[in-house]
Amino acid sequence: MIAPLMGELVEERPACSLLELAKLSGLPAETLVEYVDVGIIEPISGHGARDWRFAGATVIRLKRAERLAQDFLLEPEALALVLDLLEEIDDLRTRIRRLQGMADVL
């Protein structure tokens, strides 16, 4: 028998503050502020660091960013660009699969 997974899906997590995101990601709040400044992550609401709220999926983007930064020694600005391009590739692949599925039905 397979044991059920315990915990919550990160994407379904309610929006979190900067300090909560720092705790979840293991990154200092100062680093997260820099990441917002260069476009690596983006708050979904709030006008200043104290008021920012982040989607649960931001943790996934941060984990991916940290892996890329370590593996390829990317500066934050380059990291933001690479992340955006990788997400665009993921989106395009999803669209292709969806279109292929529609073609199979026809």
pLDDT value, residue 54: 97
Please tell me the pTM assigned to this model.
Answer: 0.78
Examine the pLDDT at 12 and tell me if it is beyond 90: no
| Residue that is written with structure tokens 């955006």 in the block | 84
pLDDT value, residue 6: 41
Count CA atoms within 13 Å of residue 54 on its CB side: 29
State pLDDT tens for residues 13-41.
Answer: 689 999 999 999 999 999 999 999 999 99
pLDDT value, residue 41: 97
pLDDT value, residue 69: 93
For the record, the structure tokens of 90 come out as: 């993921």
Domain 10-105 has CATH 1.10.1660.10: yes
Sequence-ordered list of residues with C-beta below 8 angstroms from that of 50, at least 6 positions apart, any chain: 18
Local structure of residue 41 (DSSP, 8 states): S
Share of the chain above pLDDT 70, in %: 88
